[in-house]
Amino acid sequence: MGSVTRAVFGELPSGGGTVEKFRLQSDLLRVDIISWGCTITAIEVKDRQGRASDVVLGFADLEGYLQKQPYFGAVVGRVANRIAKGTFKVDGKEYCLALNKEPNSLHGGVRGFDKVLWTPRVLSNGVQFSRVSPDGEEGYPGELKVWVTYTLDGGELVVNYRAQASQATPVNLTNHSYFNLAGQGSPNIYDHEVTIEADTYLPVDETLIPTGEVAPVQGTAFDLRKPVELGKHLQDFHLNGFDHNFCLKGSKEKHFCARVRHAASGRVLEVYTTQPGVQFYTGNFLDGTLKGKSGAVYPKHSGFCLETQNWPDAVNQPHFPPVLLRPGEEYDHTTWFKFSVA
């Protein structure tokens, strides 16, 4: 049987409100989530010997999350990932967003969904967060009602995203947790074995915007259909890391996305999703300057993200999966993070 408990995590400056922490516990997992940005602050998983470690990067207190930091554990939106030059058209009307990652817009803008306080509701096996993103927030069209629900089911953390729009708007929601299955604070992820269920990926330009080509992975560094050991693989292909969208094979139904195994501890993370893509990001921009939980520092490649989502810049690339949500429709996506030992 699982349990859910709630506690105060911290106070936002200038009377901005109280951030609460929700602890979801099953016999296999313990997950902490705060109402600031629907942020996962800890996931405790046992290894083969039954020793529990926290496998996500993060901070000990609210100040850590409020500083400039790369979306540790947060839900990102209204549109996760990059929009080229921060502009797009909906039904002929042009919209301009802040260029918070020059020359593009990244992860919803200057104050995206990761930098707001959500309204929590405790469930029997989880917690649901909701908020209304006002019309024009960060330059996006229309009001958007959003619900993000985290539930625990044994060794599985299930994240459901729902949204309803008052006007046609692009929507792309994901969670930006950085995992290290050796335990957060371990220096790198080179000994992790990675599999991603994708026959194609999106090559990008120097600003990380997809070129538009949907390229076969066959014969390239992006062929992760059979497990590769990450450190050796990066070396073999002289790669600085991954920061790419992999095009998943499945439809809108639940499908397998990725599997990561850490042989030494036996910990395995399997990801399933209803989304058409996953941004595999190997923490290339981490630089060891942030002070994390339990005295951890986070150097380059000390965590990986599997951001299940629509394809980057889909709003400007008509042959990518549709990203517009129209009034009367419902955005409804789910991702399953399944932990086990092998």
Q: How far is the CB of 208 from ligand BGC (least distance, A)?
A: 6
Interaction mask 264-303, ligand BGC, x per CB under 6 A? ---------------x-x---x------------------
- Distance in angstroms (rounded) separating the CA atoms of residues 340 and 342: 7
Q: How far is the CB of 169 from ligand BGC (least distance, A)?
A: 20
Q: How far is the CB of 145 from ligand BGC (least distance, A)?
A: 24
- Distance in angstroms (rounded) separating the CA atoms of residues 21 and 27: 20
- Distance in angstroms (rounded) separating the CA atoms of residues 298 and 187: 7
Q: How far is the CB of 243 from ligand BGC (least distance, A)?
A: 5
Q: Which is nearer to ligand BGC, 46 or 176 (CB)?
A: 176
65 binds ligand BGC (CB under 6 A): no
Q: Which is nearer to ligand BGC, 237 or 285 (CB)?
A: 285
Element (H, E) at 230: helix 230-236
Write the Ramachandran bin of 164: left for phi over 0, alpha for psi from -120 to 50, otherwise beta.
beta
208 binds ligand BGC (CB under 6 A): yes
Does residue 20 have an active-site annotation? no
70 binds ligand BGC (CB under 6 A): yes
- Which residues carry a binding-site annotation? 81-82, 176-178, 243
Interacting residue ranges for ligand BGC, rule: CB under 6 A: 70-71, 208, 243, 279, 281, 285, 307
Residues recognised as catalytic: 176, 307
